[in-house]
Structure 1
Amino acid sequence: MFDLFSGLDAWVAISLVLALAFVLTYEFINGFHDTANAVATVIYTKAMPPHLAVMFSGLFNFLGVLLGGVGVAYAIVHLLPVELLMNVNTGHGLAMVFSLLSAAIIWNLGTWYFGIPASSSHTLIGSILGVGLANALITGIPLGEGINWKKAIDIGLSLVISPTAGFVLAALLLLALKRLLPLSKMHKTPETRREIDGKKHPPFWNRLVLVLSAMGVSFVHGSNDGQKGIGLIMLVLIGIVPAKFVLDLDSTTYQIERTRDATIHMRQFYQNNATTLADYLALGKANNVDLPKKFSCDPKTTEQTIAALLLALDGIKDYRDVAPDARSQVRRYLLCLDDTAKKVGKLPQMSSRDKKDLDNLRKDLTATTEYAPFWVILAVALALGVGTMIGWKRVVLTVGEKIGKQGMTYAQGMSAQIVAAAAIGVANIFSLPVSTTHVLSSGVAGTMVANRSGLQGGTVRNILLAWVFTLPVSMGLSALLFWLATKLLA
């Protein structure tokens, strides 16, 4: 890890330390901001003592980050357009990262202070979109190209659908439990359990399910939200010390050959589909492989890009043998080819089989660019895990007592947590960032409606207002900060 500081100017090293500290601070705040939702039901229902619940939740968040992969991390990164990702330099990269993280941290702390279950995921995505749009305005490119809108729409849909699904499915699960086990003690609140049965804790099986589902929510939260921090750190490292991180320098010879083979097969794929793709990719019209060092990713230069990449990788068995400037160029070629392949896959004339072939080629193509060193994963896991153990009380009170007009029953807590763990787990499989906060609080609201407990209008209004305003506020704040930062650097 520490060798990344070797050879850096003092101001660059200080900037790098500050940028990494900002990302880890964001994840730390995410821990006590979002993970309070994971332990809210298990603490409120007295299934676990608070100190034990947050300790185990922190542990499962830690494990979730370690075992979660990097799919969601790069889904977040690729919200930014490929042109910006290809040409991030030190000053620009610092301005981008500090702006979006500052905006996210400010909003997260504000909503946490008032005990509002707002979404860190929502905040981060809004901050990234704000930076992308501000960059488009500053550089004079069309706003439509300032953001990867297809990825933004996919993520936006996941953020809208997941809480809706949480509301409906948690309500249905509670209704099923009430129908199948109408006389069960699981339908009591902690207060009625203590008054009628004289017992402090839930019945054994209900307690076990509450604990397991809470740890499940913690684990999938870590594997989903933790990856966002991983993606941000990789943006920092690629922007500030590109020579060491634009490519995975620990890639094996096999992985490099796999990348080269994917490039060759991609060229063959385009040639085999020349009838439908010739005009879109300008196939057969390339006369040389010379591309400018800071080139624009145009599908019509695909043949030149493929040829240039194969030339750059010719005979390479270890990325350390590639000159630092050439590594950045290889990454640009790979990002450009991946972006073009995504666009080709969306063309209406492409069959489902062709799209599947392209997706497989893209996975091999990006195997050595979409990665994260173990120390990055470990640092994010620690920040999220430790943050989980601090500052949880405000949101626990809101989720347990202030969403519904009556206290939460054990069955309601079980239903909301089981649905939240399942929904976030499915999102992880498809590399979609979702909001633990929104899914779980919506699940609790759904069970309150299904239980005919009614909802507290003030709390629900605050949660909805936070949900509505998070995106525009974080976008506007990050855009403003990015604009100011670029003016200072000019």
Structure 2
Amino acid sequence: METSMLVLGLVVFLALAFDFINGFHDTANAIATSVSTRALKPRTAILLAASMNFVGAMMFTGVAKTIGGKVADPATLDNGIQIVIATLIAAIIWNLVTWWFGIPSSSSHALIGALAGGVFAGAGSDALNYGGFRDIILALILSPLIAFIGGYLIMQLLKVIFAKRSPHTVNKGFRSMQIFTAALQSFTHGTNDAQKAMGIITFALVASDRLQEMEVPFWVKLSAATAMALGTSVGGWKIIKTMGTKIFKIEPINGFAADFTGASVIFGATLLHLPISTTHAITSAILGVGSAKRFSAVKWSLAGRIVITWFITIPITALLSGLLVTLLF
């Protein structure tokens, strides 16, 4: 029992470490545009993002249940704890590597890919719930497409509405509105991303027979929300620079359109209990808005690097997690 509790404690530590890293890795998602347009000072933006992430994380659990039960049934796995440990180590390694190079990759892709790879290597192909895994992958693929189209259409609409206004007046007004959209985007980030750590901890609790069903305990919600908020408060300046300045020159009206689109897509996914990549949604919204502003204004070479990272994240983390399961357990 003592050893079992120590191992379970390691799972909780790794899950909260993943959530903390996710927080500073994905801080840029919510505040990059508001910082780059000077709607918010960096420190103010980070504190706003941290507090709203915490609030959002405490309010929902649907995505956590999807993470914990749709890829595989933890109650049927004899080595579920070991699989979770390998999953978290693989996802953490990938998050740190992409953060170091300033690439806005997906923590969601990393976790889902690592969990699938760990289950496959540790329990065999029959243990994977292919239907549930397919639904999650479909949401991860469709959400950036929806965000890109939404960002493009919203920006085109705003261009028509404010065509006769002076750019200075328009941007002054939207700079104030960006405070609202930064808070909204941080809130929705918490409703979706923080639940992934909650889901993986609950997965481990069910696999170790300490829970009988996929219901997220309050202490799991509170600890995951706190870890996400603390990570967010650290900030992720490398990725803020990439998203806020390197894709295209963002003005307040562009930032508002991108933030509103990204938040809408993320919250829609949360209501459907689907884990999506906040990174993908927000980056795609920025690309869509930039395309509406002027197609040539977008630095498509950088966008291409980001997209390549999206596609390779799941197979790389799946292979890494599978390798860890094979070597360590």
- Range into which the TM-score falls when normalised by the shorter chain: over 0.9
Show the counterpart of 2:217.
Answer: 373
Show the counterpart of 2:189.
Answer: 221
Contact 2:258 2:286 in 1 (8 A): yes
Residue of structure 2 aligned with 1:468, choices 294, 311, 314: 311
Larger Rg: 1
Q: Which has the higher helix share?
A: 2
1:396-449 alpha-carbon deviations (Å, 9 max, x no partner): 110111112xx1111111111101111111111110111110011111111111
Q: 1:474 to 1:184 in 2, by over 3 A?
A: farther
TM-score by length of 1: 0.64
Contact 1:47 1:202 in 2 (8 A): no
Contact 2:52 2:183 in 1 (8 A): yes
Structure 2 unmatched runs, 5+: none
Show the counterpart of 2:253.
Answer: 411
Q: In 2, Cα distance between the equivalents of 1:132 and 1:237?
A: 16
Show the counterpart of 1:117.
Answer: 104
Deviation for aligned residue 1:87: 3.1
1:267-296 alpha-carbon deviations (Å, 9 max, x no partner): xxxxxxxxxxxxxxxxxxxxxxxxxxxxxx
Residue of structure 2 aligned with 1:402, choices 246, 251, 269: 246
Show the counterpart of 1:441.
Answer: 283
Contact 2:99 2:239 in 1 (8 A): yes
Opposite residue 174 of structure 1, the aligned amino acid is M
Show the counterpart of 1:246.
Answer: 211
Deviation for aligned residue 1:370: 2.6
Residue of structure 1 aligned with 2:162, choices 181, 195, 198: 181
Q: In 2, Cα distance between the equivalents of 1:155 and 1:12?
A: 31
Deviation for aligned residue 1:390: 1.2
Q: In 2, Cα distance between the equivalents of 1:433 and 1:410?
A: 29
Contact 2:77 2:123 in 1 (8 A): no
Q: In 2, Cα distance between the equivalents of 1:105 and 1:224?
A: 18
Q: In 1, Cα distance between the equivalents of 2:243 and 2:280?
A: 11
Q: In 1, Cα distance between the equivalents of 2:199 and 2:111?
A: 11
Q: In 1, Cα distance between the equivalents of 2:229 and 2:261?
A: 22
TM-score by length of 2: 0.95
Q: In 2, Cα distance between the equivalents of 1:78 and 1:238?
A: 10
Deviation for aligned residue 1:22: 0.3
Deviation for aligned residue 1:148: 1.0
> Do residues 50 (structure 1) and 15 (structure 2) align?
no
The total of aligned residue pairs comes to 328
> Do residues 129 (structure 1) and 116 (structure 2) align?
yes
Opposite residue 430 of structure 1, the aligned amino acid is L
Q: In 2, Cα distance between the equivalents of 1:81 and 1:105?
A: 20
- SS of the counterpart of 1:432? coil
Q: In 1, Cα distance between the equivalents of 2:68 and 2:32?
A: 30
Query: How high is the sequence identity, in percent, across the aligned residues?
Result: 35
Contact 2:75 2:207 in 1 (8 A): no
Deviation for aligned residue 1:372: 1.6
Q: In 2, Cα distance between the equivalents of 1:52 and 1:114?
A: 25
Contact 1:45 1:202 in 2 (8 A): no
Structure 1 unmatched runs, 5+: 1-7, 138-142, 188-192, 248-368
Deviation for aligned residue 1:230: 0.6
1:104-124 alpha-carbon deviations (Å, 9 max, x no partner): 000001111111110101111
Q: In 2, Cα distance between the equivalents of 1:454 and 1:133?
A: 43
Q: In 1, Cα distance between the equivalents of 2:133 and 2:165?
A: 44
Show the counterpart of 1:172.
Answer: 153
Contact 2:98 2:105 in 1 (8 A): yes
Q: 1:414 to 1:390 in 2, by over 3 A?
A: same
Write the mapping of 1:87-236 to structure 2, written as runs, cut at 5 A: 87-89=76-78, 92-137=79-124, 143=125, 145-184=126-165, 187=167, 203=172, 205-236=173-204
Deviation for aligned residue 1:132: 2.0
Q: In 2, Cα distance between the equivalents of 1:237 and 1:150?
A: 23
Q: In 2, Cα distance between the equivalents of 1:211 and 1:184?
A: 21
Q: In 2, Cα distance between the equivalents of 1:232 and 1:381?
A: 14
Opposite residue 238 of structure 1, the aligned amino acid is V
Deviation for aligned residue 1:63: 0.5
1:165-200 alpha-carbon deviations (Å, 9 max, x no partner): 111111111111111101445x5xxxxx6xxx9xxx
Q: In 1, Cα distance between the equivalents of 2:64 and 2:131?
A: 17
Show the counterpart of 1:14.
Answer: 6
